[in-house]
Amino acid sequence: MKVAAVSHTSRQYRCLEYARVVGVKVDPGVPQPLTLEQTVRGAMNRAIAARKRCTYGIGIEDGLMDVPNSHPMNVCVADIYDGRRHRLGLSSAFCFPPSVSRLLLQGDIDASHAFYNLGLTDNREIGSAEGIVGVLTKGRLDRKDYTCQALQMAMIQLENDH
């Protein structure tokens, strides 16, 4: 879904409309992010690692963040890195069911497996399919479109560097 989101988003911007999008698996350097700081660090680490042979490295990471008067919320962070500057964007955020948040905060499990282990999906790799957001919105918003939001917010900085 991440590569599809980058490909879809890049076609919307003149500065990237002819870009060749290549997906690479890279280690985010963080476990399941439980804070916004960890989520941002994961996206930045992915972007740095992805930039090895290209103009822009794009890193995408989902994780939790604390929100006052709420359960922790999941947010997607996108980072567009050109070797000098990081351009960050965030998606809209949403709450996991409390049972999922509790399981994540106990550690040693990612969100996809928490959803599977709790019987909220029969797909062990839901994050690579329609995403948890797709399950919770009953298909109204899928992971690709959710990820595109974060990418579009990061693109504001790239498109308006002047």
Specify the CATH number for the domain of residue 87: 3.90.950.10
53 secondary structure, DSSP code: G
Q: What is the pLDDT of residues 8-30, one digit of tens each?
A: 888 888 888 788 888 888 888 88
The reply to whether 114 falls in a domain is no
Give the model confidence (pLDDT) of 56-110 as tens digits: 999 999 999 999 999 999 999 999 999 999 999 999 999 999 999 999 989 889 8
- 8 Å CB contact between 98 and 106: no
**What is the model's pLDDT at position 29?**
87
Q: How many domains does the structure of the chain reveal? A: 1
- Residue 135 counted as domain residue: no
How far does the chain reach from its first CA to its final CA, in angstroms?
A: 31
In the chain, how long is the greatest CA-to-CA distance?
49
> For strand 86-95 and strand 73-81, is the pairing parallel, antiparallel, or unpaired?
antiparallel
Tell me, yes or no, whether 122 lies in a domain: no
Q: Which amino acid is at 30?
A: V
Yes or no: say if 64 and 101 are a contact pair by the CB < 8 Å rule.
yes
